[in-house]
Amino acid sequence: MKQTHCLALFLGFLFTLFALPPAAQAQPRFNPGDPVSFAATDIQGQRHTASQYTGRLVVVEFWAAWCGPCLAMVPEMNRLHNAYGQATDIHKAVAFLSINLDEDLAKGRAAAAKHDVLGTLFYDVQQEKPLAKLFFKEGFSIPHVFLIGPDGRLRWRGHPALLGRELEAAREGRPASEIDNSESPAGPSPFVLPTGVAGVDATALAARNALRRKPPGFARVLELAQDLPPTLLTEHTVRMCGRSIDRALEQINEPAQIASFKQARLNNPTGNAALTQWLNATRQSHWATPEKIATLRLAADNAAASNDSITAFDLYVDLAYTAPAGPDREHARRTLEKHTADAVFMDQRNVSKAQAVDLNP
């Protein structure tokens, strides 16, 4: 991300825009290097313990049916399962443990069946000792994955959109990425901030975090920039994070930091090209003029009247982000609140967006 000041301004803007009180951050119980012990029963009635996976990489994923971004990540998690979990030698296969957190068992089962969730499935509501309380000290943050190493110790945790890179690193004997502790708020929110394609905003926010560190993690930013395909650069959450990254880079004035950034760019020309493309897309997106706001609202209202709900939703997202405080922004906010309260619609919207863009490398 960027400096702490810009992060505070960004979060403050979002909470002001959507009139939400700040939510408490979830607190994962395990940090890299910590031994991880668990015991749980899967949907087939089979008992699983951490010790039986010694010598293997283990992915523990937490999700819920009410979490749109979780459902939109199912295709990517299934891709990783098929790529890494199907080795003939069981000791070389990555174990994927999928933990559903729905309190309503029927809803969890329906979502797992509808979205064809792969891996070994567990319903936390059926466990003697809930896994959510084992892996999180306070609250929980989803979608969220924990990657346990062959030695039974936590290797990495974070958003599933970044899991593919961590699995590759683990299998090639490379070190894991740093843990980004500024993840999404714990638990469901009365208003789900639209994320476009699942994982895209997580990548952008991780880049903002890297720039906020002291010294800034320029190499990490260049790596993350490669995770944002050009077709996703129009997503508003990405552009907003891109603005903060742009401002952070512009404010670099210490010779050592300038030299570090230049060296990182030389070391990773592919990442530098991706970052340049990202920032160019950001710089070309300006706050709309009154004429553009009026045109945008008309287009959103027309799409809604035509029952093209997904198109209307995305246009109202544009309107909510670009319109100044006033009736247009309030109109967009009220409409978005109505749609995001509809779990079925959010499911359809997130899945359609995930299918529209290939997130695979």
Q: How far apart are CA 309 and CA 271, in angstroms?
A: 36
Sorted by sequence, the CB contacts under 8 Å of residue 94 that are 6+ apart come out as: 56, 57, 58, 59, 80, 84, 85, 87, 167
Q: How far apart are the first and last CA of the chain?
A: 23
- Cβ(85)–Cβ(117) below 8 Å: no
What is the longest distance spanned by two Cα atoms in the chain? 63
Q: What's the pLDDT score for residue 137?
A: 78
Q: How far apart are CA 184 and CA 314, in angstroms?
A: 21
Task: For residue 309, give the H/E element and its range.
Answer: helix 309-322
Question: Would you call 48 exposed, middle or buried from its count of C-beta atoms within 10 A (0-12, 13-18, 19+)?
Answer: middle
Q: How far apart are CA 36 and CA 29, in angstroms?
A: 10
In DSSP notation, 126-173 reads G-SS-HHHHHEEES--SSEEEEE-TTSBEEEEE-GGGHHHHHHHHHTT
Phi-psi region for residue 158, left (φ > 0), alpha (ψ -120 to 50) or beta? left
Q: How far apart are CA 7 and CA 306, in angstroms?
A: 38
Q: What's the pLDDT score for residue 199?
A: 53
| 3-class secondary-structure state, position 181 | coil
CB under 8 A, 24+ apart: contacts of 289-295:
292/322, 293/319, 293/322, 293/323, 293/324, 293/328
The 8-class DSSP code of residue 56 comes to S
CB-CB neighbours of 86 under 10 Å: 10
Q: How do the pLDDT tens digits run along the chain, 361 residues long?
A: 333 334 333 333 333 333 323 333 457 888 899 999 999 999 999 999 999 999 999 999 999 888 877 887 888 888 899 989 887 776 678 999 999 998 888 989 999 998 899 999 999 999 988 898 899 876 677 888 999 999 999 999 988 878 888 898 898 888 888 775 544 333 333 223 334 444 566 677 778 778 878 788 899 889 888 877 666 676 666 777 787 788 888 888 889 999 999 999 999 999 999 898 888 877 765 556 788 888 889 999 999 999 888 888 878 877 876 777 788 888 888 888 787 767 677 767 766 665 554 433 3
Residues found in the chain: 361
Q: What's the pLDDT score for residue 286?
A: 54
